[in-house]
Structure 1
Amino acid sequence: MKKKNLSLMCAAMLAATAIPANFAMADETKDAENLTEWAMDEPVTLTVLKNQNPATVNYADGENQYNNVYYNAYRDNLGITLDFQICASGDEYSQKVTLAIASDDLPDLLYLPVAEYSQLAEAGKLAPLDDVLEQYGSELTKKNLNSDGGKILEAAKRNDVLYGIPSGNAERIPSQFLWIRKDWLDKLGLDVPKTLDDVVEVARAFKNDDPDGNGVDDTWGLGVCNEMSDYAGYGTIEGVVNAFGGSILQYMWMPNDDGTVSYEPTSQETRNALEKLAAMYSEGLINEEFGVSDTDAISEAVAAGTCGLFYGTDGISWGAGRDAIANNNDCGWMVINAPSVEGGDATAYSYTNFDYVYAVNANCEHPEALIKLINFNNDRINSPDATLDSLEVWGVNSKTGINQCDYTYALLDPYLNKAIGYNTTIGQVFAGELKPEELMPEAYRYYVGIKRYVDEGYDKTGSANPDDLTAFQYAMCWGPKFGSWTRYSELRDAGMKMSVYTGAPTKTMMKRWSTLLALQDETFVKIISGSLDIEAFDDFVTQWNEQGGSTIQEEIAEMYMK
């Protein structure tokens, strides 16, 4: 399972500003620059599993994974030297984790997928953390971890014991925003799509009518990747499936009135969506090589100016969306919620986002080191006592655009509440309901960038000043009325369909889930590409049930519906 993290932002304000009342606030007397508060009694060196490929990280000049502002502070101020036993991403990371478990060669600090976390917890390989968190966790850490009312911490327990600190949120952000090249839309005289058929018309025009004006048949219709059971930052088909009321996501186990659960990827609505996508592919409206294109390939096409229409997540302006403008100053973007078949917003699904867990080897003598790292990171990034100057050092550097949070180990973001809080309070400032100086420091920093963006008129074009692309990053996330978090708030206010499933694998899942997901991925790709006709979906459902799916449904119903 791949995990994409496109957005690492910072904290939000609590009082009198319509922010969720359980959002964490730190002690007002806290010094955000006290770098030694969480120091170990004696220096330690700990081996580590880190889900990150150093080659993909944007380091400042002269820095690397062993020489950067966070690594050096961990070593020099906390007395914690990290030795990265595994430092990889994607499939390579999964393979190395599997090998480490099989060989019983686990490092001290672990970052584990949920299935492996459950396996190791059941086998007694992980240190219990309930008492460690209580003793060593800062008030800010505890409040942030409980900002959802304790739901995700409870979901992380195994046999009523907390063996790991979950990295996620109680509500996963839908990966079904529709991102559109606004300059292409305007050039071709097209309206903003209001139905799925409108989206198809835009895809047809983007494919056939030379929107980039270079006289070459080199633009795509709808950019689609081959990830058919998980969230994908760029190129998911989830928005199309949502338009029919279904979902492809492996987490979507929906409750029924009779106490059973349904797996949405096996629904008639999902079947209808695949049939629609197959027709689009047959017409050439989907990139021809989508079956061998992962989400990174779609990102590259977006940055290169080949793809101008795709469904994706909220942080596009921090990645390829920004790069596309850097490569072509005429490029402009807009983001809307996925339209349904009939019009209006498509069905939005969500679930408790519990994909990975920070844990500690049971043989490690210093489990408190993990909690102290979390405390330190929270003080740098999530504390309301952070300043604009300190955030230049520990967060996004406004001059280079480098997000130094990428250097952290065990950064836990109360991302949902923060981002909603930012969107709310920044909008209140633009509406004259709040003064800029009343914003949190990081929110104020974003507001200043968004105001520059709006004052220069880029909110009308979706483009950006090429010398001020950080303003574009901020604006397309939290811009009032036009940012992705405004879109998300609209979905949330309308009501999203929440899965009952929180990520704990059932007995049959441990044995059969990877096989079932591979069956789903392969079948859906083949249906869309025309290698199989739509009737193959019915065969897929039959096979899925026979190969363990129906048993898993019963197990999940027993776990969550009783």
Structure 2
Amino acid sequence: MKKRTTKLTLAASLAAVLVLSACGNNADNGQNGNANQAGNAGTSNTNTASGDTASGNANTAGEDVNPLGKYDPPINLSTFRCMNDSETYPAGDSIDNNVWYRAYADELGIKLTNKWSVSNTQCEEKTNLSIVSGDLPDFFPVSAKQLKNLVDAGMVEDMTEVFDKYASPLVKEAYAANNGVAMTAATFDGKLMAVPGTTRGFNSVDMVWLREDWRKKLNLPEPKTMDDLNAIIKAFVEQDPDGDGKKDTVGLTMAKNYYDGYAGLAGFFNAFHAYPYTSASTSMWIKDKDGNLVYGGIQPEMKPALQALQNLYKEGAIDPQFVVYDGAKAAEAENQGKAGVHFGYFWNIGWPIDGLAKKNDPSIEWRPYPIPSVDAQPAKVQVPDPTAYWNFAVKKGVKNPEAIVKMMNLFFEHIFSDNADPDKYHSGTVGDVSYGYFDYAAVQGEHPEKNQIAFGKVSEAMKAGDTSTLNPEQKKYYDALKAYKDGDLSQWGADRTWGPEGSFSVLGNYKDNKLIQVNEFLGAPTATMATKGSILMDLEAKMITKIILGDSVDSFDQYVQTWKQSGGDQITKEVNDWYQKNKK
């Protein structure tokens, strides 16, 4: 099967279950590889916004308040696109002509043109150049930092009234979830300055993925504590779990990006009640005993976690080449059956774990476990970034700003409503090539609790044998899980996702037991974050690397002082100024 190198949560949710595509390179950066994380968007709900576009219910541009009303005559809009290098298209299609662009024209009367399209790796630079030059399309995706710059420069439309008037009930429901953090992130001085885009939220938290067949073979207990997990990691190196008579296996898989959705370290730190960076661009802010916000990565709980990592490294449980591995390179050991533990997200069963692997080798068994704790206090997992990864900015002066809201409505209608058509608009496979149709959409959104709701419905349907309450997407999950239960090993990924020991059972455990640590800072990057944030991030990464490789763990204390003096104290002040102004 052809691999698509992308870590989009929407692709992953279906790819993991239906093995339609495999997830790939995991550079967890909103500007580099994750521009459109649209899979956890929108709870299934009968309160949809199906517009009667064929009945004459649509009126002239600007007059129709139907959330899915069609413009007559049609209107023209422009945007730009940042796409994965490995994106595939059905014959005759492209980023300029595909199922979504045809839907915009046919259903909404919107003729969409791309001013340009580039690889995600070039997106930030190209977008910044467009902003500086003022050569902007009618709407375009921007990061939180870029949005703030645009707002400060007065270059984007105030979307407050437009969104309230035109957003469908399903879209409004989605963005009201998680205390409305997606709306908060796009709001400046009480004004909504962009259409909120993707939010990672609850779906993007760490769990431990474990070679369960190895654990059972070595007669090791389930990882209820960090002591249990450390013992498993060491045993996977020392006790020849693959049975080839050689000491050639890796205990804990790691990569150089410490805060990634695969082979990162956020979950490891969380086990020690430490909450550092959440991604390559976002810091984690928590409340101290006085109710003020502090950066989690400089708190004393980091030190024992760093010591534990150093111990594992010294004992040979971590590949010494991790410092140069990206996610794809780190995954090679697992793909070759030579590694057995990593921290990652729910979609890891789709990549790097191959959902078809069990069909080829029935003895293979991976299982996700909740993050264990280092002590008697249960471990909480950090939500990477409850705010929007991307927002859709609308250029100041655009004649029909509501059109972008209608495009968001259409995405939710075709992907998440009871009228959804996932085979046409979500993803599919032709021959041996998988297509993520959803990724072609120029406007995308998500809901942080959507997949968990689907898990509950699928679980109940499996117990009752009744699928009448499932929407089309949920029915796909049910069918795949049922096929596995009936002996189809090619649907092993469904069981590892939606089954009673699957990844969503782990997420349910977190939610039911209130084991979620949220990021308390929901605003756009502060002034000092914008100028010093990347410097501080690099400083932290270097500190972690040096300690793992053997520096005294006490060097963490010097890092904290340097962090404070290099802009951290000023950022802390700015974050708390924002918090005092915006806390509820």
TM-score for the superposition, normalised by structure 1: 0.85
- Residues 172 and 353 in structure 1, CA contact (< 8 A), matched pair in contact too: no
Q: Pick closer, same or farther for the CA change 1:297–1:425 going to 2, 3 Å.
A: same
Cα distance, 1:367–1:356 mapped onto 2, change above 3 Å: same
CA shift, 1:206, in A, is 2.4
Distance 2:236 2:93 in 1: 41
- Report Cα offsets for 1:43-72 as digits up to 9, x if no partner: 45544333422x322444554323432233
Residues 1:396 and 2:427 are matched in the alignment? yes
1:195 aligns to 2:225 (yes or no): yes
Residue 307 of structure 1 deviates from its aligned partner by: 3.2
SS in 2 for 1:268: coil
Q: Which residue of 1 aligns with 2:472?
A: 441
Alignment partner of 1:138 is 2:172 = no
Q: Indicate the residue corresponding to 1:379 in structure 2.
A: 413
| Whole-angstrom CA distance in 2 between matches of 1:95 and 1:206 | 43
Contact 1:132–1:367 (CA under 8 A) maintained in structure 2:
yes
- Take 2:485 and 2:376, find their aligned partners in 1: how far apart are those partners? 29
Does the 8 A contact of 1:234 with 1:296 survive in 2?
no
Q: Residues 130 and 548 (structure 1 numbering): CA distance in 2 closer, same or farther, change over 3 Å?
A: same
**Shift of the alpha carbon at 1:336?**
0.5
- The answer on whether the counterparts of 2:203 and 2:451 sit within 8 Å (CA) in structure 1 is no
Deviation at 1:490, TM superposition (A): 0.9
Q: 2:535 aligns to what?
A: 515
1:538 Cα deviation after fit: 1.0
Q: Where in structure 2 are the equivalents of 1:37-48 lying within 5 Å?
A: 37-48=68-79
Partner of 2:125: 95
CA distance in 2, matches of 1:435, 1:31: 33
Q: Residues 195 and 33 from structure 1, CA distance in 2 versus in 1: closer, same or farther, beyond 3 angstroms?
A: farther
Q: CA RMSD in A?
A: 3.1
* Contact 1:337/1:345, CA 8 A, preserved across alignment: no
Q: Look up the match of 2:150.
A: 120
- Distance, in Å, in 1 between the alignment partners of 2:396 and 2:333 is 45
**Change beyond 3 A, Cα 1:178–1:163:** same
Partner residue of 2:485? 454
The residue identity in structure 2 corresponding to 1:378 is F
| Aligned mates of 2:76, 2:336 — CA distance in 1 | 43
1:362 aligned to which of 385, 393, 396: 396
Find the partner of 2:554 among 532, 535, 541: 535
Is it true that 1:353 corresponds to 2:387 in the alignment? yes
Structure 1 residues 482 and 82: alpha-carbon distance in aligned structure 2, compared to 1, 3 A threshold = farther
Cα 1:7/1:361, change in 2 over 3 Å: closer
Tell me the residue number matched to 1:2.
29
- Contact 2:141/2:390, CA 8 A, preserved across alignment: yes
Name the residue aligned to 1:253. Answer: 285
Matched, 1:498 2:518: yes
Residues 8-59 of structure 1: per-residue CA shift (max 9 Å, x gap) = 2675445xxxxxxxxx731589799999954444445544333422x32244
Partner Cα separation in structure 1 for residue 105 and residue 345 of structure 2 = 35
Alignment CA distance shift 1:135-1:222 (3 Å): same
**From 461, 480, 493, the counterpart of 1:429:** 461
Distance 1:259 1:205, change over 3 A: closer
Aligned mates of 2:323, 2:509 — CA distance in 1: 32
- Look up the equivalent residue of 2:29 and give its one-letter code: K
Does 2:191 align with 1:161?
yes
Q: 1:286 to 1:506 in 2, by over 3 A?
A: same
Partner deviation per Cα, 1:446-467 (whole Å, 9 max, x = no partner): 11211222233xxxxxxx72xx
AA paired with 1:374? M
| Counterpart contact for 1:113–1:355, Cα < 8 Å | yes
Give 1:175's match in structure 2, choosing from 175, 187, 205: 205
Shift of residue 256 of structure 1?
2.4
Structure 1 363/210 Cα, relative in aligned 2: closer, same or farther at 3 Å? farther
Question: How far has the Cα of 1:515 moved from its partner?
Answer: 1.4
Show structure 1 runs of 4+ deviating over 6 A: 28-36
Residue equivalent to 2:241: 211
Question: Aligned letter for 2:262?
Answer: Y
Residue number in structure 1 paired with 2:268: 240
> Unaligned stretches of 5+ in structure 1?
15-23, 457-463
Decide which of 508, 511, 514 is 1:489's aligned counterpart: 508
2:138 to 101, 105, 108: 108
Q: Would you say the 8 A contact 1:196–1:343 is kept in 2? A: no
Q: Distance in 2 between matches of 1:533 and 1:39?
A: 65
1:183–1:333 Cα contact (<8 Å) kept: yes
CA shift, 1:491, in A, is 0.8
* Equivalent residues of 2:408, 2:445 under 8 A apart: yes
1:311 deviates by 0.2
State the distance in 2 between where 1:257 and 1:451 align: 48
1:133 Cα shift? 1.9
- 1:459 corresponding residue in structure 2: none
One-letter amino acid of the counterpart of residue 436, structure 1: T
Q: Does 1:325 align with 2:325?
A: no
How big is each residue's C-alpha offset from its partner over 1:144-196, in whole Å with a ceiling of 9 and x where there is no partner? Answer: 32244534213321122111122244844453200112233233333322221
TM-score (norm 2): 0.82
* Alignment correspondent of 1:460: none
Inter-partner Cα distance in structure 1 for 2:41 and 2:493:
14
Q: Are 2:93 and 1:66 equivalent residues in the alignment?
A: no
- Deviations, residues 279-337 of structure 1 (Å, cap 9, x unaligned): 21122211222112233433454344343310001111233223571795343210011
510-519 or 103-112, which deviates more = 103-112
2:327 corresponds to which residue? 295
2:379 and 2:356 mapped to 1: Cα distance? 27
Residue 32 and residue 42 in structure 1: after superposition, are their counterparts in 2 closer, same or farther (change >3 A)?
closer
Give the Cα separation in 2 of the matches to 1:66 and 1:284. Answer: 50
Identify the residue that residue 300 of structure 2 maps to in structure 1. Answer: 268
What is residue 407 of structure 1 aligned with on the other side? 440
1: CA distance, partners of 2:55 / 2:374 = 52
Structure 2: give runs of 5+ residues left out of the alignment. 1-27, 59-67
Partner AA of 2:552 in structure 1? D
